[in-house]
Amino acid sequence: MYNIRSVCPTVAAMFGIAPFTDAPVMEEVLSMLPEQPAENRRTDRVLMYNPDAVAWWIFEKYRELLTPALEMDPLVLRMGSVMPSVTPVCFASMYSGLMPQNHGILSYTKPVLTVTTLFDAMIGRGLKPAICSTGTDSISMIFRNRDMDYFIFDTPDEVNDKVEELIRADRHDLIVAYNGNYDSTMHRCGPEGAESLEALASNAASWRRLCGAAEEAWRGKNWASAFATDHGCHRLPDGRGSHGEDIPEDMNVVHMWRCGRR
């Protein structure tokens, strides 16, 4: 089982960027791309769709709610998270390839990362990344102060509308989209509450919609997209949801990958 740290070197490899962490690349993902010499870029565009808190056990139990995503026949991977399994720690590891003790975020805090991230490596190669997120959520905060585009909105719907606009404008090599609606409802209503499951279904439909936009706008290019969550979740005795513990419910998550070709 891969760790979420492997997202960073895998996407870097897609763009022909040499490894800068010890996290292994996901060969299963790279094998979906057209064969090219290792020193060349393997893909032209990447869309990272980051829903929050989608645990592996939720994926297994409520697979039917993820039908829009599964209709695209993606590569589905069970991934391990990092401890503490909270959002800023996990996304820092996902986009730096580092363990928490190495990137420096060790709790639910949101300092700007100073270590090399996927975004820095891309900028150094003259590539253009962009982040679309909400409010003061972790992805909106910890990757700041870089020479890249940030689009911050109030709601996930506004984020997704902007992401589709960016895909169709085709001015960025990497687009990262964060949707925290399942996580917020899960904390209030529990991982299996009606409102939470509605948000989960919305996440699947949103990723399908954005991949559909990529299929149209990036025709003639090699591209990849991932549904890549940060950590899982568990139910508290009072029915609400939580995460942050070193238990399978919080540490095992689902990632899905889709690749398009010229």
Domain residue extents for the chain: 2-31+40-143+163-260
Q: Give pLDDT tens digits for 205-216.
A: 999 999 999 999
| Partners of 55 in the β-ladder | 253
Cis peptide before 84 (omega within 30 of 0): yes
At the topology level of CATH, where does 2-31+40-143+163-260 sit? Alkaline Phosphatase, subunit A (3.40.720)
Q: What pLDDT, in 10s, does the model give residues 32-87?
A: 987 665 555 589 999 999 999 999 999 999 999 999 999 999 999 999 999 999 99
Give the whole-angstrom CA distance, residue 10 versus residue 100: 19
Report how far residue 124's alpha carbon sits from residue 128's, in angstroms, rounded to the nearest whole number.
Answer: 10
User: What digits encode the pLDDT tens for the residues 174-206?
Assistant: 999 999 999 999 999 999 999 999 999 999 999
Over residues 84-131, the pLDDT tens digits come to 999 999 999 999 999 999 999 999 999 999 999 999 999 999 999 999
| Total-model pTM | 0.96
CA atoms of 200 and 205, how far apart (whole Å): 9
Beta-bridge partners for 253: 55, 79
Q: Indicate the residue type of 145.
A: N
pLDDT at res. 34: 75
